[in-house]
Amino acid sequence: MSEELPEWVATELAELGGDDAAEVTEDNAPVPVVAVVGRPNVGKSTLVNRILGRRAAVVQDVPGVTRDRVAYDATWNGRRFTLMDTGGWEPDASGLQAAVAAQAEHAMNHADVVLFVVDSTVGATATDEAAVRLLRKANVPVILVANKVDDERGEIDALGLWNLGLGEPQPVSSLHGRGSGDLLDVVLDALPDAPRERYGAYGGPRRVALIGQPNVGKSSLLNKLAKQTRSVVDDVAGTTVDPVDSIVEVGGQLWQFVDTAGLRKRVKNASGAEYYASLRTASAIEAAEVCVVLIDASQPINEQDQRVISQVVDAGRALVLAMNKWDLMDEDRRVLLDREIDRELVRIPWAQRVNISAKTGRALEKLAPAMETALASWDERIPTAKLNAWLSDIVSAHPHPVRGGKQPRILFATQASSRPPRFIIFTTGFLEPQYLRFLERRLREEFGFTGSPIRISVKERQRKQR
């Protein structure tokens, strides 16, 4: 492969196997994985942010914020590795917490090195001892991290963790950064084959963000496409907090899917983890190329659904509407849904609609063609000569109305950019919004642009002063 990929992408491609798996890096070396595990609220995500040098993982001073295993690209002293954040592990968890623990156990079993984080201010608990027994069965190198050692006095508390039988505790303060460099040196010693850091842009699979309200089925869709439990799913709304990235093969090609936190109403009034989760979702939309907006087809389309769609359109991303939970539909609801779409989604008639069921797998094969069509429209460029020939015919047949005794003339048009397509029209005067909407509608009728927003701006010619 000539394209350079992010490290976590290379790791997942290696898990998928295939001819490309061995060529995901320059030196054909697999990127090692460092998993951060521990019981709830010991500071795992704070440590991840400290190692990354940025606020990537959502952090709040309550247990259970992180639920999925989330991979990040990390470097230290010119060496690269994948850092995997996990949810809090508990031995006898049930319900949602059991699913979170299963994700953490998956990380323990598939990592090259495990950072086992313990709260040094509390000391070793029964849960920590149960986790140690599980780690011994995993047969991977384990580095014991004594977190929350904020000063020299805290190092004395850290010495009490020797009795866990995992060797020397590494005292750190993930909040203040104390000892984090020494910890990373120990990590690199345990990862002798970590490839060197490289620079430059990368290509790779097209980026897809799964967007929608809470509990609409985003994580269920990702799990169904990936054919494994990649995101924790529960009936409780707001299960996903951190964006979860996965490489998934759909329609014969690889896609980089990002499962995001559900967008709620009144985000400005949100606080804590919910507020930061909304920021991560907004960043995921900006980083995506196409957004799949999931709508619960069994419920009426509401204002929040429209707000989510508007956020995608305003960001200029390709759009596919996935009407989920189709298995819950009856004939009466289908008739009502068609009316709701005509009424509530009238501003985006260009968006493709796919009726799916993430639970049963209904019509998921239609998702890839819809995304490919939307991305083709998002990338499309119209030659200037062809665009102006079309515009001349339209203006001749439907000239701009005369206002105040004046009629603006359209002189020239060009496509300034793509992703999304952006057009500039040069005129002798102001063009009314209604006329611009007319031009956009006719532009789509002629050239398509199915699944992609387009931008049309007007530049008035300034008269030269005598």
- Taking the C-alpha atoms of residue 429 and residue 460, their distance in angstroms, rounded to an integer, is 6
The answer on whether 332 is annotated among ligand-binding residues is: no
Cis peptide before 420 (omega within 30 of 0): yes
148 annotated ligand binder: yes
Q: Is 39 annotated as a binding residue?
A: yes
107 is in an annotated binding site: no
- Known binding residue 305? Answer is no
Rg value, the chain, Cα: 26
Q: Is residue 109 a known part of a binding site?
A: no
Q: How far apart are CA 5 and CA 448, in angstroms?
A: 32
Q: Is 85 annotated as a binding residue?
A: yes
Q: Is 218 annotated as a binding residue?
A: yes
For every residue of 121-164, DSSP letters joined together read: TT---HHHHHHHHHHHHHTS-EEEEEE---SHHHHHHHHGGGGG
In the block, residue with structure tokens 């595990």: 37
Q: Per the annotation, does 260 bind a ligand?
A: yes
Task: Check the annotation: does 268 bind a ligand.
Answer: no
The phi, psi pair for 215, rounded to 5°, reads: 65, 30
**Cα separation of 153 and 158, whole Å?**
9
Q: Per the annotation, does 42 bind a ligand?
A: yes
CB of 415 within 8 A of CB of 422? Answer: yes
* 324 among annotated binding-site residues: yes
219 a known binding residue? yes
Q: Tell me if 253 is assigned to a ligand binding site.
A: no
Residue 43 marked in a binding site: yes
The answer on whether 242 is annotated among ligand-binding residues is no
| 87 in a known ligand binding site | yes
149 marked as part of a ligand binding site:
yes
Q: For residue 19, say whether it is annotated as part of any ligand binding site.
A: no
Query: Is 297 marked within a binding site?
Result: no
Residue 17 marked ligand-binding: no
Report in angstroms the alpha-carbon separations of 248 from 123, 185, 207, 259. Answer: 41, 33, 11, 12
The answer to whether the annotation marks 147 as part of a ligand binding site is: yes
User: Would the annotation count 433 as a binding residue?
Assistant: no
89 annotated as belonging to a binding site for a ligand: yes
Structure tokens at 39: 């019981």
77 is in an annotated binding site: no
Annotated binding residue 240: no
Is 262 marked as a binding-site residue? yes
State yes or no: 223 annotated in a binding site.
no
**Cα dihedral 236, 242, 248, 250 in deg (nearest 10):** 60
Encoded amino acid at 231, one letter: S
Q: Which residue ranges are tagged as binding site?
A: 38-45, 85-89, 147-150, 212-219, 259-263, 324-327
List residues forming the annotated binding site for GTP: 38-45, 85-89, 147-150, 212-219, 259-263, 324-327
